[in-house]
């Protein structure tokens, strides 16, 4: 089973951990033999992104002392002109780090490390695209336990959680209360408690939320909590995907299903086989892999309508509604409101807004146009007001009509500035957390049917209670 290797850079104790890397170049103190914990001694040179600025002779001496006093393994750059002497049984990790991209011939480099006598070859590189991420994951799968292939940076963060599925002997994590030692590194508590890394293996089913940004999403907490309660061998990760690279990223991570968020919902619809719900919205927020292709549906529209009617306390018919935003999320809301309601659509891009309004029989208005419209429902589908920009609001408080309902699809924070000001103005404020839970319930059904349904409902109830 793949392990979590905790990077200790500030003198943290190694106790209670199964595997730890002591960063002797960043202030870590060598603890000597540690009961129950395999220790990796690392003294990374400044010329390869580390903090050691002494001579190579001094650096070699540091690693050889650690090797002689309890190290399980020593990590040395493949480019170093020397190799440390070490007692029998102490493993050698040869490593290469690229903080700017993925080196050409990364696979050949790893194989040369192994041919030279490395027990484990470590390639830490920074993918700049879904294609480069796929290249690194394919290398990990090819070399299995003989290599640790680390995809650094935001694009690689999800792969650090899924490393065990690709055969890596360990993944690196930041020590609890300490800083990260590489871009995109997770904390050990997150890996252990949220993602249950110790239970992940090649047969684990993998799912993700794909978007940009994606760090705000509550989906990983909700789905992983439900998996744990149901005893399911599955994991759900946040996956940053650049615009235009949705399907490349999903293929790189080898997931069976994906929740899709900004800005990929239209791409998800166009690149998959859509069902009726996705066709009505012209956008998809749920993908399910079928062989070499993908099925797409939209659970946002039904989730929004369920949440809205719960908040209103009545059916959502006969409303005079203003929708803010003209992206993929707006499509679902327009699909839910079209027909029985009068809808005005306000977007920053006039051409895009006009085209979307025609598609759903809505009336396009300028971004600041709704301030002069009498309405009884305002829906924000933009990301304005989402953490970390929670001080923003997409609509001025002074123009909120008393007794109107205000619905914010943003749910992080739970009470956005828009909702807070809506309450202050005497409006009914409805949080998007209800829509999130309702659409996620439908995603669960699309992927798992009745399996684990009760566990999901229990986890969703915990989320809604806050």
Sequence-separated (6 or more) residues with CB below 8 Å from residue 395 = 324, 370, 371, 378, 380, 406, 418
Q: Residue 349: what are its φ and ψ, rounded to 5°?
A: -90, 105
Start-end of H helices in 78-194 = 106-115, 130-143, 157-161, 188-189
What is the rounded CA–CA span in Å between residue 242 and residue 259?
A: 15
Rg (alpha carbons) of the chain, rounded to whole number = 25
Tokens linked to 281? 């919205």
Nearest CA among 80, 74, 143, 76 for reference residue 106: 143
Q: Tell me whether residue 453 is one of the annotated catalytic residues.
A: no
What is the rounded CA–CA span in Å between residue 115 and residue 111?
A: 6
CA dihedral defined by 321, 324, 329, 332, rounded to 10 degrees? 20
Sequence-separated (6 or more) residues with CB below 8 Å from residue 322 = 343, 344, 345, 346, 365, 370, 373, 375, 377, 378, 379
Tokens linked to 54? 């002494």
Active-site residue identified among 91, 218, 229, 265: 265
H or E stretch covering 206: strand 205-211
Nearest CA among 373, 384, 264 for reference residue 364: 373
**Residue 244 zone, left/alpha/beta (φ > 0; ψ -120 to 50; rest):** left
Sequence-separated (6 or more) residues with CB below 8 Å from residue 406 = 377, 378, 380, 395, 400, 418, 419, 422, 427, 428, 429, 430
* DSSP secondary structure letter of residue 191: I
Q: Residue 230: what are its φ and ψ, rounded to 5°?
A: -85, -10
Tell me, rounded to whole angstroms, the distance of Cα 159 from its chain centroid.
10
For 434, the 3-state DSSP assignment is helix
**Residue 322 zone, left/alpha/beta (φ > 0; ψ -120 to 50; rest):** beta
Q: Which residue has the tokens 């929004």?
A: 304
Residues marked as catalytic = 265
């Amino acid at each position: 089973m793949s392990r979590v290797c905790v990077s200790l850079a500030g003198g943290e104790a190694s106790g209670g951990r199964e595997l730890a890397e002591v960063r002797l170049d960043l202030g870590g103190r060598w603890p000597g033999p540690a009961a129950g914990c395999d220790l990796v001694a690392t003294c990374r040179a400044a010329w390869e992104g580390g903090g050691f600025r002494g001579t190579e002779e001094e650096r070699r001496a540091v690693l050889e002392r650690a090797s002689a006093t309890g190290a399980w393994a020593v990590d040395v750059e493949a480019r170093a002109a020397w190799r440390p002497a070490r007692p029998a049984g102490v493993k050698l990790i040869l490593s290469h780090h690229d903080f700017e991209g993925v080196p050409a011939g990364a696979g050949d480099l790893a194989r040369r490390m192994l041919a030279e006598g490395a027990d484990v070859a470590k390639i830490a590189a920074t993918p700049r695209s879904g294609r480069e991420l796929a290249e690194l994951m394919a290398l990990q799968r090819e070399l299995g336990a003989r290599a640790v292939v680390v995809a650094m940076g935001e694009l690689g963060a999800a792969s650090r959680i899924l490393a065990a599925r690709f055969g890596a002997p360990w993944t690196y994590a930041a020590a609890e209360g300490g800083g990260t030692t590489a871009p995109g590194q997770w904390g050990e508590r997150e890996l252990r408690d949220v993602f249950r890394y110790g239970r992940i293996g090649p047969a684990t089913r993998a799912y993700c939320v794909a978007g940009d940004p994606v760090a705000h999403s509550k989906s990983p907490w909700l789905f992983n909590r439900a998996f744990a309660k149901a005893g399911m061998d599955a994991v759900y990760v946040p996956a940053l995907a650049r615009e235009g690279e949705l399907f490349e990223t999903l293929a790189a991570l080898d997931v069976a299903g994906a929740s899709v968020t900004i800005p990929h919902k239209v791409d998800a619809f166009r690149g998959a086989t859509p069902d009726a719900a996705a066709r009505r919205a012209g956008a998809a927020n749920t993908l399910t892999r079928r062989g070499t292709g993908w099925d797409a549906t939209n659970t946002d529209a039904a989730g929004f309508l369920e949440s809205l009617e719960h908040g209103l306390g009545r059916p959502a018919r006969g409303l005079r509604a203003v929708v803010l935003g003209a992206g993929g999320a707006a499509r679902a809301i327009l699909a839910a409101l079209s027909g029985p309601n009068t809808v005005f659509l306000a977007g920053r891009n006039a051409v895009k807004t006009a085209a979307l309004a025609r598609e759903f029989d809505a009336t396009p208005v300028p971004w600041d146009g709704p301030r002069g419209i009498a309405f009884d429902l305002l829906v924000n589908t933009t990301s304005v007001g989402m953490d970390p920009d929670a001080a923003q609001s997409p609509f001025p408080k002074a123009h909120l009509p008393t007794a109107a309902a205000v619905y914010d699809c943003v749910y992080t924070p739970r009470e956005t500035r828009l909702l807070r000001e809506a309450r202050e103005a005497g409006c009914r404020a409805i949080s998007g957390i209800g829509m999130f839970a309702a659409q996620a319930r439908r995603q669960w059904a699309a992927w798992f049917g009745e399996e684990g349904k009760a566990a999901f409902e229990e986890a969703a109830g915990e989320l809604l209670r806050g």
